[in-house]
Amino acid sequence: MIFNYQIIIEYLGTGFAGWQIQKKGKTVQGILEKAISKALKSKIKIIGSGRTDTGVNASGQSANFYCNQKIKNSFKFLSSLNFFLKKYPISVINIKLRSSNFHARHSAKKRQYQYVILNRLAKPSIDKNKVWFVVKKLDFIKMKKAISFFRGTHNFSAFRASSCSAKSPIRKISYANMKKKNDKIFINFESKSFLQKQVRSMVGCLKYVGEKKWNPSQIKKIIKSKKRKNCAPPAPPEGLFLKKVFY
């Protein structure tokens, strides 16, 4: 009998060549597969909900794997698995038995990303590699006005990486909002799926608005242009978190 398990993973992306296994470079998926294979004493392949780029973090990445043995004690299994992961900033925080047709990527209804900007004079110590450190004071009100232009269904060609392999640039942003707490700005997006570097590109544009280089309505013009050259440089990966995958 074959069993299908879903796992929820958190990781700090610094030092990894992204989520997906590659010929060269240390990846989150590669390290996880080795650890699960050790824990189950069997060769295991895992399917992630989606790729995160080099340096991007996750507090709620989802993946699934098939195995021919039932995990009777999930506490014991998670303890063993996290022991094998102790050298790395990767933790498996939950495991759940799923139906045979559950697929971490294809079954996902929505993905939630959060980007964190630290806007102050002093560099981050505790939050190093977990925020985008911006010294220049950002106009939060203007940024909040600008983010509204991302909501809805648009052609996001201007915000996708040249290496993006998605068949269509059309995406629906079902939720786009931001809040400020002390020196931190939290920017949240939800969609069924995102283009490569889309979130970081949108955040880069919001920063330009915050710096008063652009008016909020410039976002609308960039979307309509469909041209990558009109987009601001993408925000760095360390401020980005895959927060949750909804099924």
- Give the residue numbers annotated as catalytic, written as ranges: 53
C-alpha to C-alpha distance for 98 and 2, rounded to whole angstroms:
11
Strand extents, DSSP E, the chain: 3-11, 46-48, 57-67, 90-98, 110-119, 132-134, 152-155, 170-181, 184-191, 240-246
Cβ-Cβ contacts under 8 Å for 75 (sequence gap 6 or more):
none
C-alpha to C-alpha distance for 67 and 98, rounded to whole angstroms:
12
> CA torsion, points 60, 61, 62, 68, in degrees to nearest 10?
-110
C-alpha to C-alpha distance for 112 and 59, rounded to whole angstroms:
11
